[in-house]
């Protein structure tokens, strides 16, 4: 490859060198011509001009003496005589043309005669004699000196004109040669560049075409090997790679087929319907349970409306739909029976995070829901049945403590007070169980009214400030301005705030702040209570809202139902509840409520 490029560029290099040599030679010739004009002829012209001028001034000096300006005339003559001799010396040493030497010698002889007679002129005091000597001898000699100097100027100027003409002719001739050489060079460059381009690009284009076909899955392509250079070696390596890819595709095809069969067999064993949907809504796979389920619903090519909406939402980029409570179940009637299904939709993403489909699991929770209802009814019934005798016990304890039946000694009073406190705590627990059972069963309808978040926070602050300050802490509120209104049951939400703040007080040291906050959270309004306590370990954060759950090692009293009741209240309001905590940095218990759109409920 290197040799091919070198051979392709060699003619261009040779042409460039030839043009460079010719240009150097041309510049040397032009330089010589210019040097002749400037160095030789021009100096002689200048010297001739100066001889003429100084000779004229010396002649003028002699003439001035005839009119009585003796001192001025003598001074002018003495000043110009050295300048004339200097110019004459320059000319004598710059003789370059034929006949120029004879003219220079003639000027020298005439000047010598002129200066000798000028000395005699200055010594003569008789004015008439001086006048006769000037017109008879000095003026003719001066005229001869001036004419001879003019001849020297003329032959040098003629030679300069001739040298200039020759330089112009050489320049024009060289310009034509250079234009011709440039055109030949461009033609040669285009020709050799085209050959070099074709010899290099043709194999590359063939390789590109085959690569494109290979990228489209056509692995039977072969790149022709047209040389043994680097391009030929590249084509050979590409062919070997294509051969290996064909073998690899065969192996991978068998493995993918086997994996698909294993996946289908595995999904077929699942009792719950499993459906895989492409990004365009087309069903790519459904296990036998899904086919049976859809057939009984009369939906052969689609999904139930409630499930289809979640699939559409997740395909557009929404988070996975993974409900955990029975309030999200969908009820279907199949074979004259109600079937409760808890749908779960998981987005299928590639390595870049782009959605290319969704997996739908329709979990049949009919039996679990019935068991949950039985459990809720059992708890409600037992709690109700316990409440009646407990009321009698409380009444008896109150009567005894009032000493209506008889006086009590201190020990009896202490025991009765402890019994009364335990009965009160038991009553609160039974009431919590009853409230929780009602909320879980859905029989308790929570009236909702539009409320301003600032008003909810202010009401909660007024009710809870005394409780917080009694523990030595400080209650602070932070509300983002301009929050939209929410539709809630203010009394039930106050119960949630009370539970959150009571829980924060238990883990807050005296003097620390408890923050009651409301802010915007992705189109919802988030209400939260923030404390600076020890925090909740990560492994327990998922259980904190479960019934009867208490943190291991916690010294707090209570049955562990407060947060569970708060969760049911928030869920009944259509909200979401959660906790954010980091051990050693405090906790934030929050719940998000849907905002009322502008122009909605008033």
pLDDT of residue 602: 41
**Per-residue confidence (pLDDT) for residue 88, from 0 to 100:** 85
**Per-residue model confidence (pLDDT) at position 149:** 86
Residue pLDDT, tens place only, 53-86: 998 888 888 888 888 888 888 889 888 989 988 8
pLDDT band of 318, cuts 50, 70, 90: confident
Q: Three-state DSSP class for 236?
A: helix
If you average pLDDT over residues 376-400, what whole number do you get? Answer: 63
Q: From CA 310, how far away is CA 305, in angstroms rounded?
A: 9
Q: How confident is the model at residue 251, as a pLDDT?
A: 73
Report the range of poorest mean pLDDT among 223-237, 303-317, 508-522, 541-555.
223-237
Q: How far is CA 392 from CA 182, 386, 388, 425, 427, in A?
A: 121, 10, 7, 15, 12
The yes-or-no verdict on residue 314 having pLDDT over 70 is yes
Token pair 């006048």 is found at: 131
Q: Distance between CA 60 and CA 122 in Å, rounded?
A: 14
Q: What is the DSSP letter of 102?
A: H
Instruction: Tell me the residue length of the chain.
Output: 602
As a whole number of angstroms, the distance between CA 358 and CA 346 comes to 6
Which fold is adopted by the domain 372-438? Helix Hairpins (1.10.287)
Domain ranges of the chain: 1-186, 269-369, 372-438, 446-594
The two three-digit tokens of residue 473, written as one number: 């802490």
Q: Is the pLDDT of residue 113 over 50?
A: yes
Q: Which residues contact 153 (CB under 8 A, 6 or more apart)?
A: 44, 45, 48, 49, 52
Task: Specify the pTM.
Answer: 0.38
* Average pLDDT rounded to a whole number, residues 253-274: 70
Q: Regarding predicted confidence, which is higher, 236 or 350?
A: 350
Q: What Rg, from alpha-carbon coordinates, does the chain have? A: 58
The arithmetic mean of pLDDT across residues 431-445, rounded, is: 55
For residue range 32-62, list pLDDT tens digits in order. 655 555 566 788 888 888 888 998 888 888 8
- Measuring CA to CA, which residue among 8, 4, 3, 97 is closest to residue 44? 97
Give percent of the chain above pLDDT 70.
Answer: 70
Query: What's the confidence (pLDDT) of residue 601?
Result: 45
pLDDT of residue 439: 56
Among the CATH numbers 3.40.50.2000, 3.40.50.1100, 3.40.50.300, 3.30.450.20, which is that of 269-369?
3.30.450.20
Q: What is the pLDDT of residue 450?
A: 87
Higher pLDDT, 515 or 544: 515
**Least confidently predicted of 158-172, 241-255, 543-557:** 543-557
Q: Which fold has domain 1-186?
A: 1.20.120
Q: H/E element holding 161?
A: helix 139-215
Of 330, 336, 334, the C-alpha closest to 365 is 330
Residue % of the chain over a pLDDT of 90? 2
Task: Tell me the average pLDDT across 428-437.
Answer: 58
User: What is the Cβ-side half-sphere exposure of residue 555, based on CA atoms within 13 angstroms?
Assistant: 3
Q: Which fold has domain 446-594?
A: Heat Shock Protein 90 (3.30.565)
> Can you name the residues that pair with 381 across neighbouring β-strands?
none
What residues pair up with 588 in beta bridges, in sequence order?
Answer: 530, 580
Distance CA 59, CA 54 (A): 9
Q: What is the pLDDT of residue 443?
A: 47
* Mean pLDDT, rounded, for 366-388: 57
CA pair distance 430, 418, nearest whole angstrom: 18
Average pLDDT in the chain? 76
For residue 274, the model assigns a pLDDT of 81
What confidence tens digit (pLDDT) does each residue in 522-565 have?
A: 878 999 999 888 888 877 777 777 766 777 656 555 556 677 77
Q: Best-predicted range by mean pLDDT among 324-333, 457-466, 533-542? A: 457-466
Compute the average pLDDT of residues 159-165.
80
8 A C-beta contact, residue 41 and residue 156: yes
| 3-class SS string, 334-384 | ECCEEEEEEEEEEEEECCCCCEEEEEEEEEECHHHHHHHHHHHHHHHHHHH
Beta bridge partners of 348: 357
């Amino acid at each position: 490859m290197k040799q091919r490029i070198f051979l392709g560029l060699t003619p261009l290099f040779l042409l460039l060198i030839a043009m460079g040599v010719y240009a150097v030679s041309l510049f040397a010739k032009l330089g010589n011509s210019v040097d002749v004009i400037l160095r030789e002829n021009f100096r002689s012209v200048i010297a001739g001009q100066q001889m003429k001028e100084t000779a004229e001034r010396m002649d003028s000096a002699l003439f001035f003496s005839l009119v009585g300006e003796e001192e001025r005339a003598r001074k002018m003559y003495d000043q110009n005589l050295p300048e004339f001799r200097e110019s004459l010396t320059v000319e004598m040493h710059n003789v370059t043309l034929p006949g120029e030497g004879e003219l220079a010698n003639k000027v020298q002889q005439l000047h010598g005669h002129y200066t000798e007679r000028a000395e005699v002129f200055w010594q003569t005091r008789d004015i008439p004699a001086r006048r006769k000597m000037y017109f008879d001898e000095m003026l003719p000699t001066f005229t001869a000196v001036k004419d001879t100097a003019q001849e020297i100027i003329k032959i040098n100027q003629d030679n300069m004109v001739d040298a200039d003409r020759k330089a112009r002719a050489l320049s024009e001739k060289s310009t034509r040669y250079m234009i011709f050489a440039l055109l030949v060079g461009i033609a040669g460059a285009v020709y050799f560049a085209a050959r070099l381009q074709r010899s290099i690009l043709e194999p590359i284009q063939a390789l590109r075409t085959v690569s494109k076909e290979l990228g489209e899955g056509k692995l039977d392509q072969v790149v022709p090997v047209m040389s043994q250079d680097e391009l030929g070696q590249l084509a050979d390596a590409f062919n070997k790679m294509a051969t290996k890819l064909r073998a690899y595709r065969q192996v991978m095809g068998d493995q993918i087929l086997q994996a698909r069969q294993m996946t289908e067999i595995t999904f077929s064993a699942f009792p719950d319907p499993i459906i895989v949907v492409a990004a365009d809504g087309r069903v790519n796979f459904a296990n036998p349970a899904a086919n049976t389920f859809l057939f009984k619903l009369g939906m052969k090519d689609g999904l139930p409306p409630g499930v289809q909406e979640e699939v559409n939402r997740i395909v557009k980029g929404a988070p996975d739909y993974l409900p955990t409570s029975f309030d999200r179940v969908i009820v279907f009637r199949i074979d004259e029976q109600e079937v409760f299904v808890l749908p779960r939709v998981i987005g299928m993403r590639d390595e870049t995070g782009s959605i290319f489909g969704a997996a739908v699991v329709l979990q049949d929770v009919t039996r679990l829901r019935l068991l949950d209802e039985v459990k809720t009814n059992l708890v409600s019934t037992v709690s109700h049945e316990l409440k009646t005798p407990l009321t009698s016990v409380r009444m008896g304890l109150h009567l005894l403590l009032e000493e209506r039946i008889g006086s009590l000694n201190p020990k009896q009073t202490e025991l009765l007070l402890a019994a009364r406190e335990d009965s009160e705590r038991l009553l609160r627990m039974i009431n919590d169980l009853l409230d929780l059972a009602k909320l879980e069963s859905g029989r308790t309808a929570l009236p909702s009214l539009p409320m301003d978040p600032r008003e909810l926070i202010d009401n909660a602050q007024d009710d809870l400030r005394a409780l917080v300050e009694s523990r030595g802490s400080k209650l602070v509120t932070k509300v983002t301005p301009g929050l939209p209104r929410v539709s809630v049951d203010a009394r039930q939400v106050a119960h949630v705030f009370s539970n959150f703040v009571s829980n924060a007080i238990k883990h807050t040291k005296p003097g620390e702040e408890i923050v009651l906050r409301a802010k915007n959270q992705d189109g919802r309004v988030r209400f939260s209570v923030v404390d600076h306590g020890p925090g909740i370990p990560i492994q327990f954060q998922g259980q904190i809202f479960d019934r009867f759950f208490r943190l291991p090692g916690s010294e707090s009293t209570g049955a562990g139902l407060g947060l569970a009741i708060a969760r049911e209240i928030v869920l009944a309001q259509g909200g979401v509840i959660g906790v954010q905590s980091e051990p050693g940095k405090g906790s934030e218990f929050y719940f998000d409520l849907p905002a009322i759109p502008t122009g909605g409920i008033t």
